[in-house]
Amino acid sequence: MRFICLCSAVVAFTFVCDEVAAQSVTYVAQERSVFALHRERIDGDRYQDFERISAPGFDDCDAWARALAVPPPPFTGSASVSQRSSLRPDGIIASGSMHGSTGDDGSYEWTTLVAATFDLTGASARYELTYAIDDIGPQPYYRHNDFVLTRISPDASPVFQFAVPHDRDGPVTSGSLWGVLAPGRYEFRYRDENLNDIGLFGDYEWSLRLTPVPEPAGIGTGAAVAAVFILRRRPGR
């Protein structure tokens, strides 16, 4: 099993900005995993292999899942996905790669998931989400790739939720989104799921940064005081 992760209990961080109250980010739950599945049919016989790896703790994780339904020879393809992710004092970062290929009558799946629940106390925080994700070429049978951030207490309200708008011609889709979070408990999730039967590969990287901000006079405790979204596309990296 290809996985490096050190376990820990609930993790709390506090950092201070000049003339700004101390901000504390405490991670109270996390779910990070990669999943790969490969299927083939040869001379009427069906073969399948899969691997799922989950992070057991809050520390930095490096995971790689690979599925190979039929060992070579003959070469009939495989599926793999990796994830390097960190739950940090100033936010969450992740990157990785994904690959899939098949023989004459096969298919594959892969999923990478990063989810975390955290408490924000002290000062409000400016969040900035930036991402660059490969479109992996031709449109797959199915791909679900999205970001979600939700405030769950003391009052429930969405901060952002959107699907990454991939094109069919294979560029990198990149963008950014920012705003302000009031103290409270939040749930964040990134997910990329793919099902296909042709050879594809690509990379992804993104970060959700949290930095302290002064509390403006008269501002209440809304989950997002302001939000701005910018989407950029470019033909490659």
Cα dihedral across residues 27, 206, 61, 137: positive or negative: positive
123-175 confidence digits (pLDDT tens) = 899 999 999 999 876 555 788 899 999 999 999 999 999 999 876 555 788 99
Instruction: Find the distance separating the first CA and the last CA of the chain, reported in whole Å.
Output: 31
pLDDT over 80 (residue 57): yes
Provide the pLDDT confidence category of residue 199 given band limits of 50, 70 and 90: confident
Instruction: Measure the CA–CA gap between 180 and 124, rounded to whole angstroms.
Output: 7
d(CA 117, CA 92): 11
| CB contact at 8 A, 106 and 76 | yes
Domain boundaries along the sequence of the chain? 2-234
- Cα distances from 184 to residues 23, 86, 219, in angstroms, run 12, 21, 15
Q: What are phi and psi of 10, to 5 degrees?
A: -55, 135
172-196: average pLDDT? 94
How much is the pLDDT for 71? 79
Q: Maximum distance among all alpha carbons in the chain?
A: 72
Closest CA to 146 of 128, 131, 161, 130: 161
Pairwise CA distance, residues 90 & 15, whole Å = 8
- Average of per-residue pLDDT values in the chain: 83
* pLDDT score of 104: 79
Distance CA 20, CA 145 (A): 36
Return d(Cα 54, Cα 112) in angstroms, integer.
10
Enumerate residues 6+ apart whose C-beta is below 8 A from 222.
157, 182
Task: Give the HSE-up count for residue 45: Cα atoms under 13 Å, Cβ half-sphere.
Answer: 5
Q: What share of the chain in percent tops pLDDT 90? A: 58
User: 111-130, pLDDT tens digit by residue?
Assistant: 999 999 999 999 899 999 99
